[in-house]
Chains A and B, each alone.
Chain A
Amino acid sequence: MELHSTTAHELAPLLQKRKISSTELTKAVLERIEKVEPRVNAYVTLTPELAMRMAQDADQRLQQGNTVTPLTGIPLAIKDNMCTRGILTSCASRILHNFVPPYDATVVTKLRNAGAVFVGKTNLDEFAMGSSTENSAMKLTLNPWDFERIPGGSSGGSAAAVAAGETILALGSDTGGSIRQPAALCGVVGLKPTYGRVSRYGLVAFASSLDQIGTLVKDVEDTALLMNCIAAHDPMDSTSGNIPVPDYTTFLNHSINGIKVGVPKEYFVEGMDPVVEQAVRKAIDTLAELGAEIIEISLPHTEYAIATYYLCATAEASSNLARYDGAHYGYRSPGTDNIVDMFSKTRAEGFGKEVKRRIMLGTYALSAGYYDAYYLKALKVRTLIKQDFEQAFQQCDVIVTPTTPTPAFRVGEKTEDPLQMYLSDIFTISVNLAGIPAVSLPCGFAGSLPVGIQIMAGSFEEGKILRVAHCYEQAAGFCRSRPTL
Chain B
Amino acid sequence: MTYESVIGLEVHTELATASKVFCGCPTTFGVPPNTQVCPICIGMPGVLPVLNKKALEYSIRTALTLNCDINEVTLFDRKNYYYPDLPKNYQISQNYRYLGVNGLLEIVVDGRSKRVGINNVHLEEDAGKLLHPSTASADYSLVDLNRTGLPLLEIVTEPDMRGIKEAQIFMMTLKNLLQYIEVSDCKMEEGSLRFEVNVSLRPQGQQAYGTKVEIKNLNSIKTALKAIEYEMRRQSRVLDEGNQVIQETRLWDDVEMVTRAMRSKERAHDYRYFPEPDLVEVRISKEWQEEIRRHLPELQDAKKRRFIEQYDLPEYDAQVLTSSKALANYYEECLRVYNVPKAISNWIMTEVLRELNERELEPDEFSVTPVHLASMVKMIDSGTISGKIGKTVFAEMVETGKMPDLIVQEKGLVQISDEKELAGIVAKVVAENPGPVSEFKKGRQKAIGFLVGQVMKLTKGKANPQLVNSLLREQLK
Contacts and interface: CB of A to CB of B under 8 A. Distances in A.
Determine the interface band of chain B, counting residues with CB < 8 A from chain A: 20 to 34
B45 A319 contact: no
A207 B48 CA distance: 13
B433 to A, nearest CB: 82
A205 B40 CA distance: 13
B86 to A, nearest CB: 9
A228 interface: no
A209 B230 CA distance: 48
B32 interface: no
Contacts of B82: 322, 325, 340, 343
18 contacts: A101-B44, A102-B39, A201-B46, A204-B45, A237-B50, A238-B51, A239-B278, A318-B80, A319-B90, A322-B89, A323-B45, A325-B84, A327-B87, A329-B44, A337-B139, A339-B84, A340-B265, A371-B274
B47 A202 contact: yes
Nearest to A343: B82
A200 interface: yes
B87 A316 contact: no
B39 A103 contact: yes
B277 A328 contact: no
Contacts of A101: 39, 44-46
A208 interface: yes
Nearest to B270: A368
B45 A327 contact: no
B277 A201 contact: no
A318 B39 CA distance: 20
Contacts of B143: 327-328
A99 B280 contact: no
Given A208-B277, A367-B270, A328 B46 contact: no
Contact of A238 (B87, B89, B278): B278
Nearest to B76: A238
Nearest to B50: A238
B272 A366 contact: yes
A319 B87 CA distance: 12
A371 B272 CA distance: 8
B78 interface: yes
Contacts of B84: 325, 327, 339
Nearest to A370: B272
Contact of A83 (B46, B87, B268, B274): B46
Interface of B: 39, 42-51, 78, 80, 82, 84, 87-90, 139, 141, 143, 145, 265, 268, 270, 272-274, 277-280
Given A238-B278, A315-B274, A371-B274, A99 B45 contact: yes
Nearest to A375: B274
Q: Which of A81, A207, A209, A325 has the most CB of B within 10 A?
A: A325
A329 B42 CA distance: 9
Contacts of B277: 207-209, 239, 316
A235 interface: yes
A363 interface: yes
A91 B139 CA distance: 32
Interface in A263-284: none
Contacts of B45: 83, 89, 91, 96, 99, 101, 204-205, 323
Given A83-B46, A323-B45, 4 more contacts: A83-B45, A316-B277, A339-B84, A371-B274
Contacts of B50: 235-238
B267 to A, nearest CB: 12
A202 B46 contact: yes
Contacts of A237: 48, 50
Contacts of B47: 103, 201-202
A105 interface: yes
Contacts of B265: 340
Contacts of A366: 80, 272-274
Interface in A283-324: 315-316, 318-319, 322-323
Contacts of A102: 39, 44
Nearest to A101: B44
Contacts of A208: 277-278
B87 A323 contact: yes
A103 B24 CA distance: 15
Contacts of A185: none
A197 to B, nearest CB: 15
A385 interface: no
